[in-house]
Structure formats: C-alpha cells, structure tokens
C-alpha cells in the first residue's frame, strides 16, 4: 500500500500563487487582464493557464483550480468543460495558500549541480515557481546551508537575454535553498527533513516534490524513507526518478514493483530529459499542425528515418556507471526510442498525457524484435592527434581492461504496422566521436518518373531525394533539403535547404530540458514522463538483444577517439539501402 498521500489534491501551486499575488495586490487588480494582470510579469506557462482559465470562466474573474480539477496543460489545449466546471472562483482569502517544497536527493552530485539547481534557478528567474517554495538539498555529505549555497552559486548562470537583475535574483533564489545531511535509508533523517520542511511551509497546504538524483541502487531506500517520513499530508507528493530504470525487463519490473510499494503510478515521474528538449517537443507540432507533413508521414513517402546521437567526449568520470550499462541502455533504449515513438505514433485523441502515451506505447509494442545482424557495436580506443593523446575507453581506471561494453551502437529497427511496414528506422549513438550532435533525419522516397533526371546537369536525382532534418542540438534547427534550379539561363539543378535556424528566427534563448520537465512535474503534467507500460515495452524490445550480445561476448569494433565511428555502421545502413545523412558531404 502506498503510504504517500495520492495526488488527488493537486491544487496548482502555480495558479494559487499568482492568483493570490493578484488578489493581494490592489494595483494589479485594477489593471485589466482580463481584469488585472500584467502578463509580462508572469511565467509564460502561467500566462497560458490564466488565459485558458479566464476563457473557461468567461467573466474575467481570477480563478484557481479546485482540489480535484485537472487542467489540461498540453501546449495547445484548453480545459475541458468538465475541468472548467471544477474550477472555483477565488474570492479574497477564500482558499488556503499552497507551497511547494522541492527536495533534491543526492544534492552533492554531478547532475544536481550541473542541471537541477540551474534549472530551478531559471524557473525562479522566469517567475515560474510559486510564490511560496523552498528547495532542500539532501545527501550524506556534511554541508551547511551556506556551503550548499556556495556550491550551487557556482553553477548558476543568467541567460544572455535575461541579465537584468540577475545577481539580485540569484541572491533571492539562494536564500530559498537549504541543506539537510542524511543517509538515504534513514527514517530518522527523513523525519528531521520533514520537520524542517514543515517549518518553511508555515501551515500552508503543502505539496512536495522529491528529485532522486542518486545512483539507482538506492532509489528504493530513499523512496521508502521519504514516503513514510516526509510525504505531504495535505497536498500532493511526487517523485522524479532519474534513469537508469533497471538494466533489462526483469530488473526494471522489480524496480517498478518496489517503487509501487510506496508510490502510486501517478506520483512517479520517470524522467527522460530528451523529451524535454525543445525540438523534440516541437516534433508533434511540426507534424500535426502543418498540412504539408502529416500526409507524407508513412511508408508511402518516407524511405527511412534516422535517429543520431553523438558526443565528442568519452565516458570520462562516469566509466564506473557506464561500464555496467553501455551505450544501448544509456541512449538507445530510452532517449532515441522515446523520440522514435513520438515520431511514429498515430494522431492521439488529444494532447493529454494519457492519450499521447497510449499512442507511443502502441508503437513500441508493434516493433519487430531486433536482430543481432541488424546491430553494430563499437568501442573507442586511444588515439593521438596533433600531439595530444586521447584515452581509450578501457584506459579509464574504473573500467575493466577487458571490458566489451559498447560505447557506440547502430541498429536497424522496424515497426510492423500498416503505416510503417518495411521502413527502416536507423539508430546510431556513440561517445568519443568527431562531433556532438543529436538529430532526426527523414529521408523521402525518389520522385517517380522524375522528369529532371534526364537533364539535371550532373545531379543524380535518384540519390538527392528530399530530406527533412530536425537538429535537436546544437544549433537547434529544422531544414528541408529540396532540389532546386540553379539561377541562370540553363537548366541545372542542385540541392538546397529551406532552413529554419532557431538562433536566427527566435531571439529567446532555448530553455534547458530540465526546466521544462521540472515545471511539468510541479504542475502535474505527465506527458513528457515515461509511464510504466511504456518502460516495459521499451525493455521488452531491447532485453533479448542485450542478452544475446552479452551471452555471445560480442567483440565491439574498435574506433579511434574523435573518429566517425565503426565502418560497420555504413555496411548496416547499406544493407537497408540507406546512407547515413550526417555523413554525406552535403549534410
């Protein structure tokens, strides 16, 4: 049985924050949006909610969510009438104020410093955190509040477009950060944390978010203690769980089972930070809100799809973790597969989390078992370039000298459904390659009976087919390769790009994925988190392959640090009549 209180009482900290702010400030009340809000002061997310809410109520009153109402928070969604009916008009002081306490478990670690605290600060800067919030760092390391603040302050940055008052904002933010030293399996230490959280919550309705930024072997201990000794008794309690969610079907199922002893499924937010990346979030917008794409999105027009991840650095510092997992578990089974599912799903009934996740899981369950012959694995070796020696994977002291763990993998996958029958979905992921990037490439079929093939002036139009590239990072952008006439009196064609480069089009800096995901977790939006059946389906696909690779002790193809990876990846693509788009001369 779950000892966490369920998230039924999910009154939005967000709306109650801003609505209480609006109500308590007469000068704001007298302005008008619809009666009284200066939209520019508010987090973009709460603007949307306020707009939606006021549409729902229709009389311009400032409203907040009742304890049982669910506001649909998809980017294009408007609350259903049912949800709207559950919205309550807030009168002055009519509703108890709420607060959010965020506990970063494992606060002394790499991820907390690098991503979580900076994302929380960015949300604070943008006005996206509720008026009443507290952040607690929790870990075994001995630290005072001042030491935590000092540590955190070193990793906070201001966006280029948001320098105004940044120093002041940082000071304010740091004052809301505290630290509690404790063991992850100590009820007593979580009881003390609970007392401290209560002091900060000051009798308000308390909502609690725990971010498990710790190694997976201690997830369950921490959840057990937080559940029994530090869950909220008046509001919601949610737990963000970082990957890895197990190493295979069996261990993942065991982890889910253990977590569910203490949590309901809707309290578990399994994070896949690739789903929080701007261009991944945009994938559905691109496809479902542009008439020109959706009709082409099938085997009829698409020859193959490629999901490519590469890093230009090795496993430096994380070899101990990595050797137990390898690149297939680290990147393919989660990040790339999640993107594939989003890419290939049928049109969901709505943008609701459950509708989207239902469609994704159907894709995953329609996938053909992966054949070992359709997979290439590699491992980087040391190389010297320009007088600099780059280490090989097994040069890391935390990695066994005879490790066969792949640091590179390429695979051909297939979705056995009517839309995608026969279309190769190629994945490629590697560390210590020549570049850092993540992209989705859609290669379209040839133009049948192409008129211009006969006089294209040297361009082989059977090879230069249209290609849509969604560059997730770096230099976020979307471009479409088209065949075009070279200006002039003759008839010569070349391939050019219709190019949407985000930095040229949008002046706003792109938020980090962790910002979006943290905000979603606070708002109770589950669309970008992994449901347990999605996770089961993802493991069901990869577990037999991983088992076979490991049982057969498959030797990876060695590739030099900083290279383009194993040659085997080209043969794999060629076997399916495909060329990797990222390696063509004209990318």
Ligand X SMILES: O=C1O[C@H](COP(=O)(O)O)[C@@H](O)[C@H](O)[C@H]1O
- The total of other beta-carbon atoms located within 10 Å of residue 131's CB is 17
Shortest CB 438 distance to ligand X, Å: 6
Shortest CB 354 distance to ligand X, Å: 25
**79 contacts ligand NDP (rule: CB under 6 A):** no
Number of shown-chain residues binding ligand NDP (CB under 6 A)? 19
**152 contacts ligand NDP (rule: CB under 6 A):** no
Q: Pick the binder of ligand NDP from 35, 141, 383, 495 (CB under 6 A).
A: 141
Pick the closer one to ligand X by CB: 330 or 439.
Answer: 330
- Distance from the Cα of residue 121 to its chain's centroid: 18
Asked if 222 contacts 212 with a C-beta cutoff of 8 angstroms, the reply is yes
Q: Pick one of ligand X, ligand NDP, none as the site partner of residue 214 (Cβ within 5 to 8 A by kind).
A: ligand NDP
Q: Pick one of ligand X, ligand NDP, none as the site partner of residue 330 (Cβ within 5 to 8 A by kind).
A: ligand X
Shortest CB 274 distance to ligand X, Å: 7
Asked if 399 contacts 323 with a C-beta cutoff of 8 angstroms, the reply is yes
Shortest CB 213 distance to ligand NDP, Å: 4
Q: Where are the beta strands (DSSP E) in 46-190?
A: 63-64, 88-89, 98-105, 133-139, 177-181
Pick the closer one to ligand X by CB: 18 or 273.
Answer: 273
Give the interface segment with ligand NDP, choosing from 110-118, 275-283, 384-392, 460-468 (CB under 6 A).
Answer: 110-118
For residue 38, give the 3-state DSSP assignment: coil
**180 contacts ligand NDP (rule: CB under 6 A):** no
Shortest CB 219 distance to ligand NDP, Å: 8
Pick the closer one to ligand X by CB: 127 or 430.
Answer: 430
Q: Pick one of ligand X, ligand NDP, none as the site partner of residue 229 (Cβ within 5 to 8 A by kind).
A: none
Shortest CB 110 distance to ligand NDP, Å: 4
d(CA 276, CA 272): 7
- Side-chain-side CA neighbours of 102 within 13 Å: the count stands at 28
| Torsion angle of the four alpha carbons 359, 360, 365, 368, in this order, in degrees rounded to the nearest 10 | 120
Residue with tokens 């982890």: 255
Pick the closer one to ligand NDP by CB: 21 or 111.
Answer: 111
CA distances from 323 to 349, 398, 522 (A): 41, 8, 33
Pick the closer one to ligand X by CB: 71 or 410.
Answer: 410
Which residue, judged by CB position, is nearest to ligand X in the bound state? Answer: 330
Q: Which helix (H) or strand (E) holds 467?
A: strand 467-473
Q: Pick one of ligand NDP, ligand X, none as the site partner of residue 109 (Cβ within 5 to 8 A by kind).
A: ligand NDP
Cis ω for the linkage preceding 474 (within 30 of 0): yes
Q: Pick one of ligand NDP, ligand X, none as the site partner of residue 49 (Cβ within 5 to 8 A by kind).
A: none
Q: Pick the binder of ligand NDP from 48, 72, 86, 140 (CB under 6 A).
A: 140
Pick the closer one to ligand X by CB: 284 or 333.
Answer: 333
d(CA 482, CA 497): 6
Q: Pick the binder of ligand NDP from 41, 110, 294, 586 (CB under 6 A).
A: 110
Nearby residues of 409 by Cβ (< 8 Å), 6 or more positions away: 326, 327, 328, 332, 375, 376, 377, 378, 427, 428, 429, 430
Q: Pick one of ligand X, ligand NDP, none as the site partner of residue 106 (Cβ within 5 to 8 A by kind).
A: ligand NDP
Shortest CB 533 distance to ligand X, Å: 22
Shortest CB 568 distance to ligand NDP, Å: 27
Q: Where are the beta strands (DSSP E) in 98-216?
A: 98-105, 133-139, 177-181, 205-212
Phi, psi of 315 (to 5 degrees): -90, 15
d(CA 365, CA 338): 13
SS (H, E, C) 495-538: EEEEEEEHHHHCCCCCCCHHHHHHHHHHHCCCCCEECHHHHHHH
Helix residue ranges, H only, 87-130: 110-111, 117-125
Shortest CB 273 distance to ligand X, Å: 6
Write out the two tokens for 157: 């940055």
Q: Pick one of ligand X, ligand NDP, none as the site partner of residue 90 (Cβ within 5 to 8 A by kind).
A: none
For residue 144, give the 3-state DSSP assignment: coil
Pick the closer one to ligand NDP by CB: 108 or 227.
Answer: 108
Q: Pick the binder of ligand NDP from 46, 97, 108, 306 (CB under 6 A).
A: 108
Pick the closer one to ligand NDP by CB: 78 or 218.
Answer: 218
Residue with tokens 């029958």: 421
d(CA 328, CA 118): 28
**Active site residue: 335, 434, 570, 576, which one?**
335
Site of interaction with ligand X (CB under 6 A): 273, 311, 330, 438
Q: Pick the binder of ligand NDP from 13, 36, 79, 106 (CB under 6 A).
A: 106
**404 contacts ligand NDP (rule: CB under 6 A):** no
**326 contacts ligand NDP (rule: CB under 6 A):** no
Which residues, 304 to 323, sit near ligand NDP by CB under 6 A?
A: 321
Shortest CB 284 distance to ligand X, Å: 20
What is the residue-wise DSSP string for 362-409? HHHHTBPPPPGGGEEEEEEE-EEETTEEEPPGGGSTTS-TT----SEE
Which residue, judged by CB position, is nearest to ligand NDP in the bound state? Answer: 109
**139 contacts ligand NDP (rule: CB under 6 A):** yes
Which residues, 193 to 252, sit near ligand NDP by CB under 6 A?
A: 213-216, 218, 242-244
434 is catalytic: no
Residue with tokens 């190493």: 247
Q: Pick one of ligand NDP, ligand X, none as the site partner of residue 141 (Cβ within 5 to 8 A by kind).
A: ligand NDP
d(CA 117, CA 155): 8
**351 contacts ligand NDP (rule: CB under 6 A):** no
Nearby residues of 203 by Cβ (< 8 Å), 6 or more positions away: none
Footprint of ligand NDP on this chain (CB under 6 A)?
A: 106, 108-112, 139-141, 184, 213-216, 218, 242-244, 321
Question: Known catalytic residues?
Answer: 335
């Amino acid at each position: 049985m779950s000892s966490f209180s369920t998230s039924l009482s999910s009154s939005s900290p967000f709306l109650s924050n801003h609505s209480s702010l609006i109500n308590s400030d007469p000068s704001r009340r007298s302005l008008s949006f619809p009666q009284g809000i200066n939209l520019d002061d508010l987090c973009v997310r709460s603007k949307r909610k306020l707009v939606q809410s006021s549409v729902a109520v229709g009389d311009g009153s400032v409203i907040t969510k009742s304890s049982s109402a669910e506001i649909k928070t998809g980017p294009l969604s408007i609350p259903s009438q049912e949800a709207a009916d559950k919205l309550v008009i807030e009168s002055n002081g009519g509703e108890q104020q709420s607060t959010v306490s965020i506990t970063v478990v494992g606060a002394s670690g790499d991820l907390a410093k690098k991503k979580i605290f900076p994302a929380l600060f960015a949300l604070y800067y943008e006005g996206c955190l509720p008026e009443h919030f507290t952040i607690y760092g929790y870990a075994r390391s001995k630290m005072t509040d001042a030491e935590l603040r000092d540590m955190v302050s070193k990793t906070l940055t201001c966006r280029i477009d948001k320098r105004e008052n940044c120093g002041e904002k940082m000071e304010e933010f740091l004052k809301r950060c505290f630290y509690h030293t404790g063991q992850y399996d100590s009820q007593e230490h979580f009881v003390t944390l609970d007392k401290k959280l209560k002091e900060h919550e000051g009798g308000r309705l308390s909502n609690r978010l725990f971010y498990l930024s710790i190694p997976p072997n201690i997830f369950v201990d921490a959840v057990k203690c937080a559940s029994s000794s530090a869950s909220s008794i008046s509001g919601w309690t949610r737990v963000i769980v970082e990957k890895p969610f197990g190493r295979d079907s069996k261990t993942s199922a065991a982890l889910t089972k253990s977590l569910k002893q203490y949590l309901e499924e809707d309290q578990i937010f399994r994070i896949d930070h690739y789903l929080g990346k701007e261009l991944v979030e945009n994938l559905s917008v691109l496809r479902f809100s542009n008439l020109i794409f959706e009709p082409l999105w099938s085997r009829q027009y698409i020859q193959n799809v490629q999901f490519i991840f590469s890093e230009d650095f090795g496993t430096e510092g994380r070899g101990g973790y990595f050797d137990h997992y390898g690149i297939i578990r680290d990147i393919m089974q989660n990040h790339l597969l999640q993107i594939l599912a989003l890419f290939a799903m049928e049109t969901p009934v709505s943008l609701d989390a459950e509708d989207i996740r239902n469609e994704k899981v159907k894709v995953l369950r329609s996938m053909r078992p992966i054949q070992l012959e359709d997979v290439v694995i590699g491992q980087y070796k040391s190389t010297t370039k320009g007088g600099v020696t780059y280490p090989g994977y097994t040069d890391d002291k935390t990695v066994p000298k005879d490790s066969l763990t792949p640091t590179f993998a390429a695979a051909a996958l297939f979705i056995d459904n009517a839309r995608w029958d026969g279309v190769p979905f190629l994945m490629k992921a590697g560390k210590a390659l020549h570049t850092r990037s993540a992209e989705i490439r859609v290669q379209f079929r040839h133009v049948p009976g192409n008129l211009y093939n006969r006089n294209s002036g040297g361009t082989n139009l059977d090879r230069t087919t249209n290609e849509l590239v969604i560059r997730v990072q770096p230099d976020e952008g979307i471009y479409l390769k088209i065949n075009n006439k070279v200006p002039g009196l003759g008839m010569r064609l070349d391939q050019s790009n219709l190019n949407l480069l985000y930095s040229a089009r949008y002046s706003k800096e792109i938020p980090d994925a962790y910002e979006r995901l943290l905000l979603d977790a606070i708002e109770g939006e589950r669309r970008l988190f992994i449901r347990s059946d999605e996770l089961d389906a993802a493991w069901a696909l990869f577990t037999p392959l991983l088992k076979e690779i490991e049982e057969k002790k498959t030797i990876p193809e060695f590739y030099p640090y900083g290279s383009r990876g194993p040659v085997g990846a080209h043969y794999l693509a060629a076997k399916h009549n495909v060329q990797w788009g990222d390696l063509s001369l004209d990318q």
